[in-house]
Amino acid sequence: MIHFLALDLHGLVGRRMRLLAVAAMLIFFGIDMGPAFAIPLAAVACVLIASDLFLMDERGRLDILYATLPVGRTTVVLGRYTTVLLEFLVAAVIGNTVAMLDVDFGRAPLGPGMLVMMNVVGFVIVAVGLAVQLPAFFALGYTKARFVGLVPPVVIAVAGLSVGRKADILQGLAAIVRGRGVSVPLEAAAVAGCVIVLAASVLAARALYVRRRL
């Protein structure tokens, strides 16, 4: 799988302009919306650009290439999920850095509880977003699945905007976090749930990709 991951990441290098643009957008919104918001936004960006890899597969007929290489389709699926999660890791690091800088400029206080919570929220967004998108892309390829791929980002965007507009909800959320401290069991359960959802998604993607006609 390491070879496939290397191939996938090698392909990412070619997309660095696009990644930079997404990162810039992140920083801008993150600073604008308030403390720690860069973190879930980084996750949203990740979900948005995940389809890119499948677009590149389709453009270069890379599914055919993978089928001629000495790797099985399971390896392709596992490698692709790993690539996307690595992307999230990088995005999370950028998001956290932006959040910290925000704090350093003294614009907003940011407790460890809030930081952890925002990271959990980010992971939930990525896990759910990818769990829905990737099996569709593996089953149908970019063109046929791109509308399916749009569903989670749209849902996230709509939800994010409506929540963002209602400042009182945010304030309430922040109050809960500050008042009661971090609900560790809840966060742990959320993370565990997401891992299970991702695992199920991998299994579904594998079953679908194995059947796909290339």
CB 178, CB 113: distance < 8 Å: yes
Q: For another protein, which is the closer residue by CB, 4 or 37?
A: 4
Query: According to CB under 8 A, which one of 93, 163, 195, 214 is a site residue for another protein?
Result: 214
CB 68, CB 122: distance < 8 Å: no
With tokens 């959990």, the residue in question is 120
Query: According to CB under 8 A, which one of 6, 24, 184, 203 is a site residue for another protein?
Result: 6
Interface pattern 10-39 for another protein (x via CB under 8 A):
xx--x-------------------------
Query: According to CB under 8 A, which one of 67, 85, 90, 100 is a site residue for another protein?
Result: 67
Q: Which of 50, 69, 61, 60 is nearest to 4 (CA)?
A: 69
* Residues near 200 by beta carbon (within 8 Å), at least 6 away in sequence: 131
Residue 7 in the binding site for another protein (CB under 8 A) = yes
Q: For another protein, which is the closer residue by CB, 4 or 138?
A: 4
Residue 213 in the binding site for another protein (CB under 8 A) = yes
Query: According to CB under 8 A, which one of 17, 32, 70, 112 is a site residue for another protein?
Result: 70
Q: Which residues of 107-145 are buried (b: 16+ CB within 10 A; e: fewer)?
A: eeebbebbbbbbbbbbbbbbbbbbbbbbbbbbbbbbeeb
Q: Which of 48, 208, 63 is nearest to 136 (CA)?
A: 208
Which residue ranges make up the site for another protein (CB under 8 A)? 3-4, 6-7, 10-11, 14, 56, 59-62, 64-65, 67-73, 75, 211, 213-214
